[in-house]
Structure 1
Amino acid sequence: MHISTKYQNLKSNFSSTIAPLISEYNAINLADGYTGFHCNSKLIGLVEKHLREGLNQIAPFQGEMALRKKLAIKTEELYSRTYQPQTEVTITAGVQQAMFTAISALVKEGDEVIVFEPANEYCVPAIQMNGAQPVYVPMKEPDFHIDWEQVQMMINSKTRMIIINTPHNPTGWVMKEIDMLRLQRMVNGTKIVILSEETFEHIVFDEESHQSVALYPILAERSIIIASFGETYHVTGWQIGYCLAPEEIMREFRKVHQVMVQSVNSPFQLALADFLSEKEEYKGLRKFYQDRRAFFIDLMESSKFKPIVSQGSFFQLFDFSEVSEEADKDFAIRLIKDRGVAVMPISAFMHEKSKRQVVRINYAQPDEILIEAANRLKQL
């Protein structure tokens, strides 16, 4: 039977391309976005508690109220913005689902969505699958930041959404107050919605602070925040995220969410609700990952890889131009086969090949893994 192609322009992402190679060559996986650390044993105990209590039925599609309330309290404490748990907080099956749902709910065919490249691999496909047009704005090199004058020139009557991500994956760039104020001034008085991914909100380095859209009233009124518990609590495999937005926006989000995801794992939601009271767990992430960043950069100091120092997240970019003249995707594949180390080329996050020879490395791994990976890379 011949099946006609519905999405002709959609391609498999690079992660799925290299996954079989990572397995075949038993490579050290510094390419994917998971954490290599165990979560707090207390959190595991809370999951077990709720499982044993028999709280294993379908949760409300909006999410368990206990978790929504705790998220609202946390957000108000951190950013002085009140979100109503009943109408403005929704629990999702991870960030990827939250992003797809938000775009499906708020963007229609013929709309334009501004995307800053490099961008998350699942961002552009979600736009295209909803019949909208991604408008690519390249981040300014060499340090990767947003040129707001260029953004202003891209905005027109078709612009429906601007997607931001801070701390930024894959570059590790962190938006500053001046960036948020310029964005706020740019969209004020328009019909543009901001989709703000803030997964790494607690992993910001060098005395910088996380600039959530929730801090800026005019932005917050037109923004939908998506984030994840996975990176915060070392439970990336749980795939539990959340969404915060004003009621009018959240109403549209939930229309799509309800038919897309019947509910998210109930006992795990309840465990996270209990664990959110452990504030030191997320407050300690800044120092934890800043120390790991320094540790890995020190390991790589004698190599030919040159860091573009991350300002946040647990990702670090390295320039490999002194190692090879290969295109970044070809180089990444050769690293797996020849050295048994998997990294992500910057082109994996762009709609065209990057002219720069840059790869992203995930350093959220135990010491022994990073040491072995660094030793293999230093042989190049």
Structure 2
Amino acid sequence: MSKLPHISTSMFTVMSKMAAEHNAINLSQGFPNFPVDERLINIVAKLAKENVHQYTPMSGYPPLLSKIVTLVKKSYGRTLQADTELLITAGATQAIFTTILALVKTNDEVLILDPSYDCYEAPVLLCNANPVRVALNDDYTPNWEIIEKACTPKTKMIIINNPHNPTGKILKQSDFESLEILLGKYPDILVLSDEVYEYITFEQKHISAHTRKKLLNRCVMISSFGKSFHVTGWKVGYLVAPEYLMKEIKKVHQFLVFSVNSICQVAISDYLNLVSVDEIGKFYQEKRDYFRRLLKDSRFKLMPCEGTYFQVASYAAISNENDVNFCKNLIVEHGVAAIPISTFYADGKDLKLIRFCFAKDNATLEEAAKRLCAI
């Protein structure tokens, strides 16, 4: 009997498979198609001949842990203890999975704000716990009154994603104030803050949970070098947690992966000497603005994009069909792959919105926009 009976092939896999079959431009999956920074490639090439191919310590390569301490201090003003509050993970998904497996028990409830990334629910179910899906407002802002009503004495965790995939929204100061008030009423609830797009923000920076003193002792923060440095296939991320939670998380981590890819950890550690994370947001803002300009004469209505490398668009002026069928037809008839937003909702809520990934080279964006503007 399946432990995850209702979970089938993901929409990301479906759309990418269709895109390949129909030779469509794939703006569905969230990964770049442009070259990795040559400086990073050179570092890897040099390291390949060095003695960096055996296990690192379970928590991570010590110089990289030290670099992350410096990065978090510079970015958010928070001072971390590398040995007790920091863990290198095999990507953000493993960090999320490990955290939930370590901290959530049978019959606990975990609040997930929809639309939500698809990796949140499965580990909750595998813990024999109950995912409680709470929809954001239609403008993708949280309704804290509804969120609070969803809380019960069984609520163990609330998951926030900021900047938000798939919508590109970022949480406001008032959202964190409301969250902190909620936690004051429910002192046993923990927060899992998925911040993998933390350095991909535009007109204003996102507010990190790292900066909220009331959250620090009850929050696990998730970050991704794969997203930040355009190396998603490396699957290297990290999580930050207070020591009492980290002890439990490390217990699971040591039996799940024990340690993370050694050469990638060393390469990222060396690369952090050369690169500034401040460059990342500027780079993707140019991509966002260019893609939006290319689509300005299309029939799609572009939603605000405050962060991430995703652009949500309404096709309501084009078609009345549901978003899954619209995306399939978009591939077959027009040669562009996107993701239907309904797939991020537990109830399949359909607002006639789809998600494009603009982490692509300009030639790809130009050809995709040409096809989209012809609709």
Provide the TM-score with structure 1 as the length reference: 0.96
Contact 1:35 1:231 in 2 (8 A): no
Name the amino acid aligned to 2:356. Answer: I
1:96 and 2:89 are equivalent in the alignment: no
C-alpha separation in 2, matches of 1:343 and 1:328: 10
Determine helix, strand or coil for the equivalent of 2:101: helix
Name the amino acid aligned to 2:38. Answer: S
Name the amino acid aligned to 2:252. Answer: V
Give the aligned partner of residue 17 of structure 1.
Answer: 14
Instruction: Give the gaps of 5 or more residues in structure 1.
Output: none
Aligned with residue 291 of structure 1, among 286, 292, 316: 286
1:167 and 2:163 are equivalent in the alignment: yes
Name the amino acid aligned to 1:147. Answer: N
Give the aligned partner of residue 246 of structure 1.
Answer: 242
Contact 2:222 2:237 in 1 (8 A): yes
C-alpha separation in 1, matches of 2:335 and 2:312: 19
Give the aligned partner of residue 127 of structure 1.
Answer: 124
Aligned with residue 255 of structure 1, among 251, 263, 266: 251
Determine helix, strand or coil for the equivalent of 1:234: coil
Shift of 1:10: 2.4
Contact 1:116 1:137 in 2 (8 A): yes
1:334 and 2:357 are equivalent in the alignment: no
Structure 1 runs of 4+ with >4 Å offset: none
Give the aligned partner of residue 107 of structure 1.
Answer: 104
C-alpha separation in 2, matches of 1:9 and 1:110: 19
Give the aligned partner of residue 37 of structure 2.
Answer: 40
Determine helix, strand or coil for the equivalent of 2:12: helix
1:349 and 2:349 are equivalent in the alignment: no
Contact 2:52 2:263 in 1 (8 A): yes
Count of equivalent residues:
374
1:236 and 2:232 are equivalent in the alignment: yes
Give the aligned partner of residue 218 of structure 1.
Answer: 214
Question: Structure 1, residues 4-53: CA drift from partner, whole Å, max 9, x if none?
Answer: 33322323221122232122112111000101222221111222222211
Instruction: Give the gaps of 5 or more residues in structure 2.
Output: none
Contact 2:27 2:337 in 1 (8 A): yes
Larger deviation: 298-307 or 186-195? 186-195
Contact 1:318 1:359 in 2 (8 A): yes
C-alpha separation in 2, matches of 1:23 and 1:349: 23
C-alpha separation in 2, matches of 1:77 and 1:377: 41
Give the aligned partner of residue 114 of structure 2.
Answer: 117
Shift of 1:230: 1.2
Alignment identity in percent? Answer: 37
Name the amino acid aligned to 1:241. Answer: G
C-alpha separation in 1, matches of 2:289 and 2:2: 47
Name the amino acid aligned to 2:255. Answer: V
1:150 and 2:161 are equivalent in the alignment: no
Determine helix, strand or coil for the equivalent of 1:218: coil
C-alpha separation in 2, matches of 1:44 and 1:347: 38
Determine helix, strand or coil for the equivalent of 2:9: coil
C-alpha separation in 2, matches of 1:167 and 1:183: 16
Question: Structure 1, residues 59-85: CA drift from partner, whole Å, max 9, x if none?
Answer: 222111111111111111221212211
Shift of 1:185: 2.0
Provide the TM-score with structure 2 as the length reference: 0.97
